[in-house]
Amino acid sequence: MAKLFASEVAVRVANECVQIHGGYGFIKDYPAEKYYRDVKLCTIARHERNTKIGHCRQLLGKTK
């Protein structure tokens, strides 16, 4: 659950960083672009997120 939370926070922070930097956030010379690109990989597979949540619920013995 902590890994899921950390990845979602990282995506929000990187997105905010790119927004603050504006167009420079997408230029490869700036670290903001690399951070955004790296954490964006966390959101590509939404199936993985749902799988993590289901696994956590199963471990905690909770149902929907």
The pLDDT tens digits of the residues spanning 4-61 come to: 788 788 889 988 988 998 887 778 888 888 888 888 776 665 556 667 777 777 778 7
CA angle (45 as vertex; 44, 50 as ends), nearest 5: 135
Distance CA 49, CA 34 (A): 22
Q: What is the pLDDT of residue 63?
A: 60
Q: What is the pLDDT of residue 6?
A: 80
**Residue 23 CB coordination number (10 Å):** 8
Distance CA 30, CA 42 (A): 20
Q: What is the pLDDT of residue 16?
A: 92
> Cα 8 to the chain's mean position, in Å?
4
